[in-house]
Amino acid sequence: MEYVDAFTNTMLEIAEQILKAARAIDKKEVLKMLEILLEAKRKGKKIMVVGVGRSGLVGKAFAMRLMHLGFNVYVMGETITPAVKKEDVVIAISGSGATQVVVSVAEAARKMGALVISVTSFPDSSLAKQSHHVVRIPGRTKISLEKDYFARQILGIYEPLAPLGTLFEDTALVFFDSVIVALMKALELDEAELMERHANIEVP
Amino acid sequence: MEYVDAFTNTMLEIAEQILKAARAIDKKEVLKMLEILLEAKRKGKKIMVVGVGRSGLVGKAFAMRLMHLGFNVYVMGETITPAVKKEDVVIAISGSGATQVVVSVAEAARKMGALVISVTSFPDSSLAKQSHHVVRIPGRTKISLEKDYFARQILGIYEPLAPLGTLFEDTALVFFDSVIVALMKALELDEAELMERHANIEVP
Amino acid sequence: MEYVDAFTNTMLEIAEQILKAARAIDKKEVLKMLEILLEAKRKGKKIMVVGVGRSGLVGKAFAMRLMHLGFNVYVMGETITPAVKKEDVVIAISGSGATQVVVSVAEAARKMGALVISVTSFPDSSLAKQSHHVVRIPGRTKISLEKDYFARQILGIYEPLAPLGTLFEDTALVFFDSVIVALMKALELDEAELMERHANIEVP
Amino acid sequence: MEYVDAFTNTMLEIAEQILKAARAIDKKEVLKMLEILLEAKRKGKKIMVVGVGRSGLVGKAFAMRLMHLGFNVYVMGETITPAVKKEDVVIAISGSGATQVVVSVAEAARKMGALVISVTSFPDSSLAKQSHHVVRIPGRTKISLEKDYFARQILGIYEPLAPLGTLFEDTALVFFDSVIVALMKALELDEAELMERHANIEVP
């Protein structure tokens, strides 16, 4: 049964970290992100989400819900994703803020006049520097803890609990789902209205 | 600032639900899942993951980590996924257990002699019935709460907190990441060994 | 050098088969497909593309170009694909017309009031029977040649030249790209206008 | 009916271009590609395919068939793609040879000791320069015809026939499928053996 104890302890600890993150995330950073998203919706601008690996999967989960809310949203790299245009919003997700291709996309999008929001643990990262707005999400990431000030100082994480970027990715999923609830409130949408747009033919 | 309060409250509540789930999930169900996965690895059998929509994304996040652990793992529907063979393990993810295409895949896989593990909130669902082993994950799902006995009785969830399948999907991600830590312990792998297999060229 | 001869001969023969297909495809079937697509665009309806495996990849290549032409197009199974609604157009691609999940999607879409166009080698297949309009594309498919009347009678293909569904898939890609040129003419669009919508940030 | 004429003419012309390409492609370049792939298979090395947009879809269609032939093949950017290691083979597809992210992947792979094969219309492109071996495929690409010497001199293409990279992509699909037939001959595999590995549960 000892492996199962590792299972339970990890699940409890990840949940505890998400609780701490919920309290640590700067509300002003979230508010500004909400305002940018709502403004883009009013103006009919596109939201484009980009991330690599598991951060990319978290981005897709967010994009799917934004679609349910009626946003004009795309995932970078999917088949029918169009050109980024002026005033579109690019949401770039990277725990380390150092994922090269995400930094490049942010840089290119910025040159095209898009507004870049990055979601990262590192406010001093290359990605953050390419962004108009940064939302800091705690979470030990793949890069050395020495550099992860936010995680170390605010959360007191010193030991690897979950491997690689796990804590960032799990926290980011719950973060984005909470952003969705805030947007539902702002747009006065209920669950039935989301269900209306939800894919009605299920394809993996 | 009121939308931001909705954000913080949701994030806290989802984390609380994950905490409750960590305590509510049946350890014997997890242990059996771990044993099936470890046995498949020893025998050189494939692990195939299937899910639709956001549950599919959670499945991909799990598959990526299984690859880092050295499992021979595939995602159903991706380019290079081969045939399911006898004694392969299919992990089918569906909150409601009623997602038609996932049920069909489970049924087809069972006929081919594969071992089907389902991860669902509904132990009486069509999916669960097609499975050799069921791990129950609490989480209000898209289908009516009336039917969601597990969520209602164990967790005391009565009111929609997050829309549609959100609670299931968020809990499932943390669940699978905790399974990964248990497998790391069982296989005596450390983070450096995972990093060795982690994609070294980042592509979204 | 003998393997290289097999290479050259195959490439020549596939090209010859595409030439024959270009002559054999029924122009009235193509015209009706063009009219349905143009009507959907005028009405602001969605085009949804579905296919499995290599037929699915061909469908994605078509969807990408439809996006370049300004159609409101989605690929079934991708992240931001919304619900199928009345009068949307579903393009279902299957050489054999027997791919179960494609048949199921066609059936479900029909019930929701969508218009189903199937592109297949088998006008008597289950898929064709679920469709409002069928465009027959010759090409030996994965299923037995005995049943592949269109390929056998019109093209005189008796021997496997390329494995499995290759001939269908290669012919279908050129078919769809030719449909794109016809739509460009109908919409009086030139290449520069396509380039305008073409993704300007390249992500794999 | 005039749009339908545009359809038929385009389909005939693309097929003619593929015929010309079949004759124009350098057999020695193909032979060397075949030898590299067969050597990688013998040594148990991985084949990794990368491309953006429609070239990426063509790469996936090739990867799927390589899997059917028993190669250890992955698509860059998919869920379970592992690290690139020494002596792995990277197949980079880009008509222009200038797709930035593909060039970066080729460069990174080369540094890790992988062998890079590029498939492109431009033997002087940045991509070709990062490659150990180049296979030239004719096809007017998205970049100006002025620069597309190979297409202009060998094929005599002066006028846009199909938009953007269409000619390259269609030719590349038939090229790769012909490479598959050559590999089948070399490995003495028949269609039944491919079918054995072909996904037996169809998921879009």
B77 → chain C, closest CA residue: C53
A191 is catalytic: no
Is residue B199 pLDDT above 70, yes or no?
Answer: yes
pLDDT tens figures, C123-180: 999 999 999 999 999 876 554 444 444 444 444 443 456 788 899 999 999 999 999 9
Interface of B with A in 32-51 (CB under 8 A): 34, 50-51
Residue C203 pLDDT level (bands cut at 50, 70, 90): confident
CA-to-CA separations, B92 to A2, B63, B81, C105, in angstroms, rounded:
25, 12, 15, 20
CB D74 within 8 A of CB B80: yes
Residue whose structure tokens are 């992988």: D114
Q: What is the pLDDT of residue C161?
A: 60
Closest CA to D93 of D128, D44, D129: D128
Test D68 with C164 for CB contact under 8 angstroms: yes
Closest partner residue to B204 among C77, C101, C203, by Cβ?
Answer: C203
Q: Distance between CA A71 and CA A89 in Å, rounded? A: 11
Intervals of chain A under pLDDT 50: 143-159
C99: which chain B residues are within 8 Å (Cβ-Cβ)?
none
Q: Chain A within 8 Å of D77 (Cβ-Cβ)?
A: yes
DSSP D154: I
> Burial level of D200, CB count in 10 A (0-12/13-18/19+)?
middle
Neighbours of B111 (CB within 10 A): 12
Is residue B141 pLDDT above 90, yes or no?
Answer: no
> Burial level of A152, CB count in 10 A (0-12/13-18/19+)?
middle
Record the tokens describing residue D50, joined without a space.
Answer: 């990368």
DSSP H helical ranges for chain B: 2-24, 27-43, 53-68, 100-111, 126-129, 149-150, 166-187, 191-197
Test D84 with B204 for CB contact under 8 angstroms: no
B165: which chain A residues are within 8 Å (Cβ-Cβ)?
none
CB C35 within 8 A of CB C90: no
Residue type, C184: M
Q: What is the pLDDT of residue B163?
A: 82
Q: Using alpha carbons only, what angle is made at residue B148 by residues B145 and B151, rounded to the nearest 5 degrees?
A: 100
Mean pLDDT over B121-126 rounds to 94
pLDDT tens figures, D107-153: 999 999 999 999 999 999 999 999 999 999 987 655 444 444 444 44
Q: Give the residues across from D23 on adjacent strands.
A: none
Test D179 with C101 for CB contact under 8 angstroms: no
Of B115-119, B186-190, C146-150, D130-134, the range with the lowest mean pLDDT is C146-150
DSSP D153: I
Q: Distance between CA C136 and CA C122 in Å, rounded? A: 7
B27: which chain A residues are within 8 Å (Cβ-Cβ)?
1, 4, 7-8
A202 → chain D, closest CA residue: D204
Residue type, A2: E
Q: What is the CA radius of gyration of chain B?
A: 17
Give me chain D's average pLDDT, please.
90
User: How far C42 CA lies from chain A's nearest CA (Å)?
Assistant: 19
Which of C76, C80, C101, C164 should be substituted to probe chain B, the one whose Cβ sees the most B Cβ atoms within 10 Å? C101
Q: What is the ipTM, given to two decimal places?
A: 0.92
Q: Distance between CA B150 and CA B131 in Å, rounded? A: 18
D178: which chain C residues are within 8 Å (Cβ-Cβ)?
6-8, 10-11, 14, 162
Q: Chain D within 8 Å of C144 (Cβ-Cβ)?
A: no
Test D7 with C191 for CB contact under 8 angstroms: no
Closest CA to B134 of B90, B166, B169, B99: B90
Cα atoms in the Cβ-side hemisphere of radius 13 Å centred on D159: 5
Q: What length does chain B have?
A: 204
Neighbours of D154 (CB within 10 A): 15
Is residue B79 pLDDT above 60, yes or no?
Answer: yes
| Confidence (pTM) | 0.93
State the catalytic residues of B.
169
Closest partner residue to B204 among C101, C104, C204, by Cβ?
Answer: C204
Test D163 with C194 for CB contact under 8 angstroms: yes
Domains of chain D by residue range: 2-188
Task: Select the CATH number that applies to the domain covering D2-188 from these four: 3.40.50.2300, 3.40.50.10490, 3.10.310.70, 3.60.10.10.
Answer: 3.40.50.10490
> Burial level of C31, CB count in 10 A (0-12/13-18/19+)?
middle
D101: which chain A residues are within 8 Å (Cβ-Cβ)?
101, 104
Mean pLDDT over D55-61 rounds to 98
Q: Which of C169, C188, C193, C202 is catalytic?
A: C169
Give the chains touching C; criterion: ≥3 Cβ pairs < 8 Å: A, B, D
Which of B101, B103, B203 should be substituted to probe chain C, the one whose Cβ sees the most C Cβ atoms within 10 Å? B101
Test A101 with D101 for CB contact under 8 angstroms: yes
D4: which chain C residues are within 8 Å (Cβ-Cβ)?
27, 30-31, 34, 182
Q: Distance between CA B133 and CA B117 in Å, rounded? A: 5
